[in-house]
Structure 1
Amino acid sequence: MSHRKKLPEDAEGYTTDQPWNLRSKGHAEGFFMSACQLREQQHLLDVTVTLGPSNYEAHGIILAAVSSVFRQRLEYGEQDVLELDGVTAAPGWEAILNFAYTGQLEVMPETAEELLDAAEALGVPRVAAICKAVLLETEAEDRLSPSDEKWETLRSLEELYKESVGCDLVLKAEGDTYRVHRLALACGCEFFHAMFTSGMKESRQMDTPLCTRFTSADLGLVISFAYSGVVAGGWDDLFDAAQAALQYQVSGILELCLDVFQHKLCPESSLDVLSFARAYSLHKLENTASDYILRNFVRVSATPKFLDLPVNQLVDFLSSDALYVLNELEAFQGAIRWLDADRNGRMDCAEKVMRCIRFPLMSTRELKQVRVVDIMAPTGRLYGLLIESLCSLPPGPSKLEQLPCRVRYPEKVIVISGGDCLSKNMATRNPSEDIWYSHRFVNGIGLVKLIEWRHLGVLPEGPRFRHAVAVKDNVMYILGGKHYYGSRDAMNSVFKFDPFCGSWERLADMMSFRSYFAAVFQDGLLYALGGSSRDTYCLDSAECYDPRTNTWRSCEPLPSAVCGHAACVLDGSIYISGGSDGSCRCLMALIQYRPGAPAIQRTSMIEERAGHAMEALDGCLYVAGGLRWRDGHGGYADQLACEVYSPGQDMWSAFTPLPQAHVIAASVVLQGELYILGGYSHNTYRDTHLIHCYNPAYDRWVSVGTLPQAYADLRACILEVPPSLRKKQLPPSNVTMLELPEDPSTASVDHNFSDVLQ
């Protein structure tokens, strides 16, 4: 299979045309927990079993879902007491009764024969199969868990419903009739649970008309979900399902729908989700949808739904500091598209909309594009608004706070640590001990973009570079690296930092000294993979740390020795890409590392690379930057090519190359975008302080600002920091003043507007 095949253009992969088939993972568990509670409370019981001196009351359809004997009784409508004396012993019957409600079955070799007799007498094939496996000492490895057994029982219940076996209630809505089981609806829907356990007449009568409460579609949805835990349909169906869930108190349906609305937004659906959230006061969902729209404004503004926005909502978006646009012209173009959808009807509010556009943030070139739009002609009132806006910019160098900047304050922050940089006289390199966090992102005049960095602390053992960083439960772990440039300066110390406590804790040292390596968390364990050691250029060893015991142990080695590689976790698997081998050649390999099993070689990358970045984003692996081997000339060269890996297809595809070299840079994913921070260029041997951000939806790299200093060999991660650290303070010197650029191709508007606007 060709690894160059193009991936879908929409990297998010979600559209409003996509059908959904959602299953609530906890539905079976909740269903049978409710059934157990109803049995304990003696609600809706319809079966009595006698065995010896004991009487057992239960729900007939629960027993019929596991036992052919009880199913046959339902089919023939037998309502009398079932006597099991002489049929089975009490322990066997009680084990089957418990299995029907909980999915649990404890079978010991000494009790297996007795349980098998009970299972065969009552026609319970799943219990019989388990008992036979125990007796033959061949208990299958694929034996179902209690949770899976409950799903099997629920599927049998659904078959009883579809075949109208044992139904004890007829529901009617809008002329449609549904024959159902009271117990199933009581266990699968809070509305019916309350109805059937409150003593209302509906809990007893066979025929219940509900036309005044349910539509036929809503009733069909609730019944189907009660038996299956599944909601199916397109986006419009999900909105209908969520509304029904809110009206009829079906928390399982609501959780499924809200999960889709929260995590699988797309430009076409986001405005509908926002309207839905506001209509039902779902504040968390409202914030999620609003944030999505602001971050994806250009794509959202291209949808038909955008043209129907009320003017006040449009004004809220355009005036928000959190609006994410490459330049202010994109905000202006969105406003024009909305006005053009109904010129005659919307011109009265055109001035209100245009006052939201921050014209002083535009470059000269962008202002000329504004000028050619007909409604901005000099004879109109909008032209006067444009001049007024431009005149609001104070002359000369301006403080950042005086500019109409767009400022984003992401909930979580980028944290950078360590690295090394050139001294001020450029004569030596100095390792860093500083830790910084990104407080806010600023879109300034023209194309100028800035990040306000704030100091978070210093590394506990002093300077460190070529180290590894991993995060678990919002705690940052820093491992290994080097503290200077000697051949034996690799470190094995490990620390963790809790940003909310502001505290460091030294952990057990790694078994090996490591630098230029990768570390990831997987299944609660921290893995350190490969790298360079004090006396070895490349290692194939791996080790893992258990936070519960504060101990390290050796793990399966890598297929070959490697350093300068990248690693991350995607869908529960550890992937390792590229790196340098023992002969200092850059690699193309992609390895799926499996603790406890041999590694799997996946399709190789399109390009060789080492000292690169790899991050998981939208279900894929994104790889960028690093070094490559210079063919025909020897030595290394900058690797600008970027590529993305789809695990489902085991296939790589190229995407937009980096605009500048980032070798041994840091990388993170924040708000659905890939950030590459710092590093150096091997071609020029210059460090870079630039930060480039890649948005998969637009397939473009954007320079979003700079580091506090030009660093290479640094590391980055995403953390949430205490609110006290996000409070307003004087910005650092690197973002206090903003000089207007002089290059006419990128310059902001100057204060002689006549040349620009005529």
Structure 2
Amino acid sequence: MREATHDPTAPLATGLSPAELRLLLSFAYTGAVAGPWSTVLEAAETSLRYQAWGLLTLCLDVFTHGLTPDTGLDVLAFAVAYGLAQVSRVAEDYILATFPSVVATPAFLDLPAHLLIRLLRSDGLNVLHELEALEAASRWLTANRDGQEDVAKEVLSSVRFALMSTWELKKVSSVTAGVADPKVIRELIVASLAPMAQLPCRVRSLQEVLVVCGGEKLTSNLAARKPSRHLWFAHRYLSTVGLVKKVEWRALGHFPDGPRFRHAIAVVGNILYILGGKHYYGVHDTLASVYRYQPLDNSWERLASMTCGRSYFPAVALGDFIYALGGSSGELYCTDTVECYDLTNDTWRRCQPLPMALCGHAACALDGALYVSGGCDEASQCQASLLRYVPGAPAKLLAPMNGPRAGHIMEEAGGQLYVAGGLCQRAGQMGYKDQLAFEVYSPKLDIWVLLSPLPRAHVVGGAAVVGGELLVLGGYSHDTYQDTHLIHAYQPAARRWITRGTLPHAYTDLQACVLTVPPALHRALFP
């Protein structure tokens, strides 16, 4: 009570500042931390200083589950400073995976030199080509030129010049102009290319990799198609001259019961679930079977089958369940039925149906709900609708997309929903055309915003979010009836599309996901 008459900006007798006391009292009464990101960091520091473990647990949960390119570096610096090893590992893995987006943030320029060097020297650094690592180092050195001459060589020596193509090496001098002595750069390049330096120069590879599953592809006989039973993973991205990069693909496994396309997949805890689809092209060839794949030991397990065969449908994991929504079922062009798989009990049960029968729609989970976009109805009309489906409650119609689409993809990234690809009806004409429009949905505002259109058609292609980028791959063009083997990546920070590389084959009706694969597969060619 005595301190109530003192200067409110002066520290209290206990050593607590008024701001710190306000944070602790607010948490004691609400059990939450309210305010901007800086407040969360301040709360974490206060909780460590005064051993407020409940507040610290809350802050660490925000750190590890709410990472973004803008906040990841702050979390890493905080965790390293206070010796929080687990938080440090999570933050570092996130930064390595989303490095192109992290580099574009203002916080990157404030990164301590020792942490920048640690990131650049990591085998898990996610860069399209090694020149990106050099560009990041040069950007940081330009912003930290004063007093950083002593560390410039150490920072630049962390770049793996031996992994650069001839085209990249020719650009080194222009990228490093003004940040380092050209003589030093030449010495680093020569040292990295020396015969004795080749062994230590390891290829960068992410722990989590892009995996493509099944689909169908053209054969040498252009009138025939061949369904695939293979799983491939992207081991590394190769630097080449030109706009299209190459990807080194390695075999991960194959379906135990033959080829499969127009199927659905879900990933729960690095376990891949394969649901439904078709073995071949007959009306009665729609599958109800479900398999579970463990990539770390390359094992398959047959699970309880769905209550009916489904193809051309999405499956989404939410909580302890996987939901199969609509799709084509045998002789029915599309259905409104929904069923969910209990991961614990290996059983299926019916859920409340969709408001309309759909096939070729897309779905994903966000904030405890399922979102379902587009698709074709029973009259083969493409829809622009977006549904919010909460198990046990009626589905709710949200703001529609800017245009109808089916055979498209939808992925969640950064708390927003991105849709791309597919096809739509021709205006005033019979038939369909490619849908190149690309848009993003904000659940908080219930609005769609159009972004840069897709560079190329991807009808019934696959998609995944890798390293903060949205990858759209495979599929075909309805306008030309040509398959595509291209992988296009949208970079939210730069708001642009780039070509990430190519698939092993030009697949359509495929699925893609992100998995952690055994380290031995990465080391097979590069010990």
C-alpha distance in 2 between matches for 1:508 and 1:318:
46
Equivalent in the alignment of 1:647: 443
Q: Secondary structure at the match of 1:515?
A: coil
**1:214-613 alignment to 2 at 5 Å?**
214-215=16-17, 217-266=19-68, 269-297=71-99, 300-301=102-103, 306-325=108-127, 328=130, 330-341=132-143, 343=145, 345-358=147-160, 361=164, 364=167, 367=170, 370-371=173-174, 375=178, 381-383=181-183, 385-386=185-186, 389=189, 407-410=204-207, 412-438=208-234, 440-445=235-240, 449-500=245-296, 502-613=298-409
Distance 1:578 1:304 in 2: 37
Letter in 2 for 1:542: V
Q: 1:570 to 1:631 in 2, by over 3 A?
A: same
Q: Is the 8 A contact 2:157 2:188 kept in 1?
A: no
Is the CA contact (8 Å cut-off) linking 1:417 and 1:716 kept in structure 2?
yes
- What is the percentage of aligned positions where both structures have the same residue? 50
Aligned residues of 2:238 and 2:248 also touching (Cα < 8 A): no
- The structure where helix makes up a greater share of residues is 1
CA drift of 1:624 comes to 0.8
How many angstroms apart in 2 are the aligned matches of 1:295 and 1:457?
Answer: 24
Structure 1 unmatched ranges of 5 or more: 1-169, 178-208, 396-400, 732-758
Aligned equivalent of 1:709 = 505
Is this contact kept in 1: 2:214–2:261, CA < 8 A?
yes
Q: How far did 1:611 drift?
A: 0.8
Q: Counting strand residues as a fraction of each chain, which structure ranks higher?
A: 2
In structure 2, distance between residues paired with 1:310 and 1:519: 43
RMSD: 3.7
Q: Given residue 204 of structure 2, which amino acid in structure 1 is its aligned partner?
A: V
Ranges in structure 2 where 5+ consecutive residues have no aligned partner:
none
How far, CA to CA, are the matches of 1:475 and 1:728 in structure 2?
22
TM-score if structure 2 supplies the norm length? 0.85
In the superposition, relative to structure 1, how do residues 537 and 685 fare at CA in structure 2: closer, same or farther (>3 Å)?
same
The structural deviation recorded for 1:299 is 5.6
Find the aligned partners of 2:151 and 2:348 in 1 and give their Cα distance: 66
Matched, 1:728 2:518: no
Instruction: Please state whether the residue corresponding to 2:465 is helix, strand or coil.
Output: strand
SS at match of 1:531: strand
Q: Residue 226 and residue 456 in structure 1: after superposition, are their counterparts in 2 closer, same or farther (change >3 A)?
A: same
Answer yes or no: is the 8 Å Cα contact 1:467–1:516 preserved in 2: yes
Q: Could you say if the C-alpha distance between residues 443 and 406 of structure 1 is closer, same or farther in structure 2, counting changes exceeding 3 Å?
A: farther
Q: In structure 2, do the counterparts of structure 1 residues 524 and 236 end up closer, same or farther at CA, with 3 Å as the change threshold?
A: closer
Query: Taking structure 1 as the reference length, what is the TM-score of the superposition?
Result: 0.61
Q: Is the 8 A contact 2:267 2:273 kept in 1?
A: yes
CA distance in 2, matches of 1:316, 1:292: 14
Q: Which has the larger radius of gyration?
A: 1
> Is the alpha carbon distance of 1:239 and 1:486 closer, same or farther for their aligned partners in structure 2, counting shifts above 3 Å?
closer
- Cα 1:428–1:404 shift into 2, 3 Å: farther
Asked whether the 8 Å contact 2:338–2:353 carries over to 1, the reply is yes
Q: 1:359 to 1:584 in 2, by over 3 A?
A: same
Deviations 1:366-425 (A, max 9, x none): 94584387538xxx9415634862796699xxxxx8897862313x33333221112234
Cα distance in 2 for partners of 1:556, 1:615 equals 23
CA separation in 2, counterparts of 1:699 and 1:381? 33
Q: Distance in 2 between matches of 1:352 and 1:522?
A: 46
Following the alignment from structure 1 to structure 2, what is the Cα–Cα distance between the partners of residues 725 and 639? 41
Contact 1:405 1:444 in 2 (8 A): no
- Report the CA distance between 1:216 and its aligned residue: 5.3
Letter in 1 for 2:82: Y
Offset of residue 229 of structure 1 = 2.2
Q: Is the 8 A contact 2:452 2:496 kept in 1?
A: yes
Matched residues in 2 for 1:644 and 1:228: separation?
34
How far did residue 500 of structure 1 move? 4.6
Q: Which of 562-571 and 365-374 deviates more?
A: 365-374
Cα deviation, 1:158-180, whole Å, max 9, x if unaligned, reads xxxxxxxxxxxx79799789xxx
Letter in 1 for 2:440: V
Opposite residue 454 of structure 2, the aligned amino acid is L
